[in-house]
Homo-oligomer: A and B are copies of this chain.
Amino acid sequence: MRYTEMNKEQLIAEKASLEREYAEFKEKGVNLTMARGIPAPEQLDLSINMLLHCLDGDCKSKSGMDCRSYGVLDGIPEAKELFMDMLHVGPDEVIVGGNSSLQMMYDTIIRALQLGVLGSEKPWCKYDKIKFLCPVPGYDRHFAMCEQLGIEMINIEYKSDGPDMDEVERLVASDESIKGIWCVPMYSNPTGITYSDEVVRRFANLKPAAKDFRIFWDNAYCVHHLSSHHDHLLNIIEECRKAGNPDMVFEFSSTSKISFPGGGLAVICASKDNIDFIKKQMAIQTIGFDKLNQLRHAKYFKNFEGIEEHMRFHAAIIRPKFEVVLYMLEKELMPLGIGKWTRPNGGYFISFNGMDGTAKRIVQLAKEGGVALTDAGATFPYGKDPHDSNIRIAPTYPSVSDLRQAMELFCICAKLATAEKLLG
């Protein structure tokens, strides 16, 4: 019976029973986390040979350059090639950077604030106010950057195939202070949505009032499929070029969830003109990134096919974990009409929407019961979920048996919070 169909007595009885279940679970003294999108240790083992046997004393790039020394701002050719094939860009449209795509995004924005981007009339910090559009729910670390740097954020709702493009088009065309939009276009964090071809084309055809408006296209999960039945994403850089907006997008990606989180390679892709402009700015910040790690990755993966094969093994490890989460939600919550959730074909998250006004309570109950979840609200700018309903579930880190336990608790908490809410 669905909770919303229960009368008050039934709900009170249900709540009392849930409280007993919750108390019993608590006694187990578990201590688990589904809070962040972290690969499991066995996923990291997949790449261990990269560290052990990869640089065999020959540290020369195929360009002839000694990767142990200074030089080359935009990456050694063989590292570039990995990403060129992954993201379908040319050699002049990519910079292979350091260990963090987040850092590349931050640096891109802080440079825009201080110096401007290609085509800026003035640095962004010279405006009284600038704004970014933020499809929600989204990635907390994107929003944290805007908040720190004083960039006002405007929420954009998600449709089934991407952000609400009517709203995006209307806002960017009418408000010159809107300088950017955050997108995780494939297996979006946390919704799992991949933007449809129509959405990508509408992005490429935006007519922003701000001439130096940029799409921040964080393609973090571009090869992170859960099975061979997977989503496809149009190439935004190509679509922008076709639409006559070649410079409107900065695309980011990394191998953080391919090789090693914090020990991989990050990349920015954009039009040649954008890249030339960025390199000129960036040459003042650094002599270059770690080419030894670039060479290590290139030698280990050999080519993009090597990455694709590698991702099959990742999928083999994490697909069962997604299945456990979905099985538990379907078994425990669906019959009761509690919540909605996504069934992504890739990425690192399942997005759960509970009844309005229950997300914070669920997270609190889970925490006190021994399972850490991403803070409720974290998936929204300023940490404020207007409906207090969204929770990001990150199933990759725990083992299957830990995950089963964690989801048992999650479902108890979701039920209890819903019953409490309905009883008012």
A163-180 with Cβ < 8 A to chain B? none
Please indicate the chain B residues that have their CB under 8 angstroms from the CB of A38 in the complex: 69-70
For A102, give its contact among B100, B111, B286 (CB under 8 Å).
B286
Which residue of B has the minimal Cβ distance to A123? B125
Question: Which of the listed residues A44, A68, A145, A293 has the most CB atoms from chain B within 10 Å of its own CB?
Answer: A68
Q: How far is the CB of A122 from chain B (nearest CB, A)?
A: 12
A94-133 with Cβ < 8 A to chain B? 98-100, 102-103, 106-107, 110-111, 113-115, 125
A229-252: CB near B (< 8 Å → 1, else 0) gives 000000000000000000000000
- Residue A36 lies at the interface, judged by CB distance under 8 Å to chain B: yes
CB pair B263 A107 closer than 8 Å: no
Q: How far is the CB of A130 from chain B (nearest CB, A)?
A: 13
- Residue A218 lies at the interface, judged by CB distance under 8 Å to chain B: no
A266-324 with Cβ < 8 A to chain B? 281, 284-293
Question: Which of the listed residues A47, A48, A55, A100 has the most CB atoms from chain B within 10 Å of its own CB?
Answer: A100
Please indicate the chain B residues that have their CB under 8 angstroms from the CB of A113 in the complex: 114
What is the total number of copies of this protein in its complex?
A: 2
Q: With A44-B66, A114-B113, A281-B148 in contact, is A292–B103 under 8 Å at CB?
A: no
CB pair A52 B57 closer than 8 Å: yes
Please indicate the chain B residues that have their CB under 8 angstroms from the CB of A293 in the complex: 263, 290, 293
For A44, give its contact among B41, B69, B290 (CB under 8 Å).
B69
Please indicate the chain B residues that have their CB under 8 angstroms from the CB of A148 in the complex: 115, 281, 284
Q: How far is the CB of A60 from chain B (nearest CB, A)?
A: 10
- Residue A56 lies at the interface, judged by CB distance under 8 Å to chain B: yes
CB pair A106 B286 closer than 8 Å: yes
Q: In the bound complex, how far is the Cα of B148 from the Cα of A284, in angstroms?
A: 8
Q: In the bound complex, how far is the Cα of B47 from the Cα of A39, in angstroms?
A: 31
Question: Which of the listed residues A44, A263, A281, A293 has the most CB atoms from chain B within 10 Å of its own CB?
Answer: A263
Please indicate the chain B residues that have their CB under 8 angstroms from the CB of A59 in the complex: 44, 48, 51
A37-76: CB near B (< 8 Å → 1, else 0) gives 0110100100110011001110100000011111100000
CB pair B36 A103 closer than 8 Å: no
Please indicate the chain B residues that have their CB under 8 angstroms from the CB of A68 in the complex: 44, 47, 260-261, 263
- Residue A30 lies at the interface, judged by CB distance under 8 Å to chain B: no
- Residue A262 lies at the interface, judged by CB distance under 8 Å to chain B: yes
In the assembled complex, 25 residue pairs joining A and B whose CB atoms fall closer than 8 Å, in A order, are A41-B66, A41-B69, A44-B59, A44-B68, A51-B57, A52-B55, A67-B263, A68-B260, A68-B263, A69-B262, A70-B262, A98-B290, A99-B289, A100-B287, A102-B287, A103-B286, A106-B286, A113-B114, A144-B284, A145-B284, A260-B292, A262-B291, A263-B290, A290-B290, A290-B293
